Structure 1
Amino acid sequence: MHFHEKPNMYVTNVEIKVSNLKRSLKYYQEVIGFKVLAEESNKATLTADGHTALLTIVQPDTIEEKTKLTTGLFHFALLLPTRRDLANIISHFHQKGIYFGASDHDVSEALYLQDPDDNGIEIYIDRPEESWTWTSNQVYMVTEPLNIRAILTEAAGEWNGLPENTVMGHIHLSVSNLADAEEFYTKGLGFDIVTRYGGQALFISTGRYHHHIGLNTWHSENAPKLGKNQVGLKTYSLFLDNEQQATTMKENLRAISAPVVEIESGFQTEDPAGNIVLLKY
């Protein structure tokens, strides 16, 4: 879990647009296991521990239908504390008849779902970092079938929602041009490249995590930006170590002609694919 602590730069909150707030609240509480931290007429903030905002869901006043693929959210990823927690939530999904995908990535064991608006969700655990394989500063990751039976042997007790120590492990974004995204996230924001998947996907992090952000063009190469009122990603937040880091980052972003807008406790920028990033310290 130290990968989601200072001085690392990591995702703290993801804000998504949904078409029906009431329906989404029911899903995120009953299926995923969030608690409601705050609720308004068109917005709800969700938490695992009762005080940390992990996910914000917003229903725009007008919903615009998506008629073609766009950039935006591929998935957000919730990192559970233990393998037992993963086993318990698998049992919970089975009991509720919830369909999910599953993959073994060598560094992690992961489940995949879609919310009622097809926003992607990953729920995963990390294998011990001592077991990760690094070659020339690139971490080895694969996509293999997950041994669910082995995980279920560790299930114990009843499932009572997301564990308190759940964090937003990473976000994975669909972008229109991988080279442009690489420049923005490495030169502008200062992330390190930790894995390349051919010419269509890139994984980046700080502090030698397997990835705090994933970027791909699998279904979005040259795609338009997500519309303002289309369901999907609205913003996501990165936590910075200090104000000096923010100052340096602003200079680097301006040097590559990326926008910088001051906000409370930090600033806002936008990647070349239209994904809005809030940087707070």
Structure 2
Amino acid sequence: MLNVDYKISHISLMADDEQRMRSFYRDMLGLVEKQQSSSQFSYAFTHQDQPFLTLSFSGQKTAQQRQGLYHFALLFPNKASLASLIERLILAEYPLGSGDHDVSEAFYLNDPNGNGIELYHDRQQTLWQWDQGLVKMGTKAVDVLALLQAKEAGWSGFPVGIMIGHLHFVGDNVRKGDTFFIDQLQMSLTAKIAGSAHFYSHNAYHHHHAYNTWFGSDLTQRRPDENGLVNWTVTIDEKLFKILNQSLHDQNLSTKPNQIWLADPFGSRLVINKDYSPSD
């Protein structure tokens, strides 16, 4: 596995139902909202952070499932901060699912447009179990009462250290995921669920990305005017950027020297930025 800096820094979604969507992200989750134009709003975790999410309210609903974003996942720095938000959502009676995945404890919800969101914290990496390059990730019930007991304070906004932990996509063939993430982005395969889902990462993380076929093999891509993921941005170090810039030269749609733009297999665009800051 390559030892590199890799950060998922931003996603942009086409949306409708402006009133409910803005209320969910601003009021229910407590994100910092900033209006970018008459139909576009950005959201940051705190006033000190750069926006990680942009909503453009010019989308159209579709009655059909599409290829694209399955969920975006927010990684909390500890169990206590996650517990504070989960308690808030439970008290608000917001619909939640959950799963203990061995490497993490996760909760699942949808925004008013149906975009999936995962809220999770990682267990210590020393507790992760690896076998022949694959990490054990199961699904069992979360002990919600035990998690809530870890809460140290009521929810007052996102904590320092919160970040996009991973993006999970849905498509029509896992081989497309392997080609994109392993062959093109130089990631490693870290887990499998039968033949229906593969997981990928850098640096032996359990996964930065996943690709599943759980909606069926006849899934079509979203049209440009439909709700869903428009683009997503990652920031990488100079070492990885040099490798990708050379290997993806013929597919790069960007004219900027420090960016790579790729058409992904999900009907959206990946923007890869080179970060000049030194690795930690």
Q: Aligned residue for 1:162? A: 158
CA–CA separation in structure 1 for the residues paired with 2:102 and 2:9: 24
Q: Aligned residue for 2:74? A: 78
- For the residue of structure 1 that corresponds to 2:90, the secondary structure is helix
CA contact (8 A) 2:134 2:191 kept: yes
1:198 to 178, 191, 194: 194
CA contact (8 A) 1:10 1:170 kept: no
Q: Aligned residue for 1:276? A: 269
Q: Aligned residue for 2:228? A: 232
Same amino acid, percent of matched pairs: 26
1:15 aligns with 2:12: yes
1:209 to 187, 205, 212: 205
CA contact (8 A) 2:16 2:61 kept: no
Q: Aligned residue for 2:38? A: 41
Indicate the larger mover: 17-26 or 181-190.
17-26
Q: Deviations over 1:91-120 (max 9, x none)?
A: 101221211101100000001000000000
CA–CA separation in structure 1 for the residues paired with 2:119 and 2:141: 15
CA contact (8 A) 1:70 1:223 kept: yes
Which runs of structure 2 are paired with 1:228-267 in the superposition (5 Å)?
A: 228-242=224-238, 245-253=240-248, 259-262=251-254, 264=256, 265-267=258-260
- For the residue of structure 2 that corresponds to 1:262, the secondary structure is coil
Which runs of structure 2 are paired with 1:78-117 in the superposition (5 Å)?
A: 78-117=74-113
Q: 1:223 to 1:250 in 2, by over 3 A?
A: farther
CA contact (8 A) 1:18 1:58 kept: yes
- For the residue of structure 1 that corresponds to 2:81, the secondary structure is helix
Letter aligned with residue 193 of structure 2: Y
Deviation at 1:23, TM superposition (A): 2.4
TM-score normalised over the length of structure 1:
0.90
Q: Aligned residue for 1:58? A: 56
CA contact (8 A) 1:178 1:215 kept: yes
Deviation at 1:254, TM superposition (A): 5.3
CA–CA separation in structure 2 for the residues paired with 1:196 and 1:252: 26
Q: Deviations over 1:229-279 (max 9, x none)?
A: 11111111111111x533431443357xxx321155412101223232111
Runs of 4+ in 1 over 6 A off after TM superposition: none
Unaligned runs of 5+ residues in structure 1 are: 1-5
Aligned residues: 270
Q: Aligned residue for 2:277? A: none
CA–CA separation in structure 1 for the residues paired with 2:186 and 2:34: 32
Aligned residues: CA RMSD: 1.7
- For the residue of structure 1 that corresponds to 2:186, the secondary structure is coil
CA–CA separation in structure 2 for the residues paired with 1:229 and 1:122: 25
CA–CA separation in structure 2 for the residues paired with 1:168 and 1:18: 20
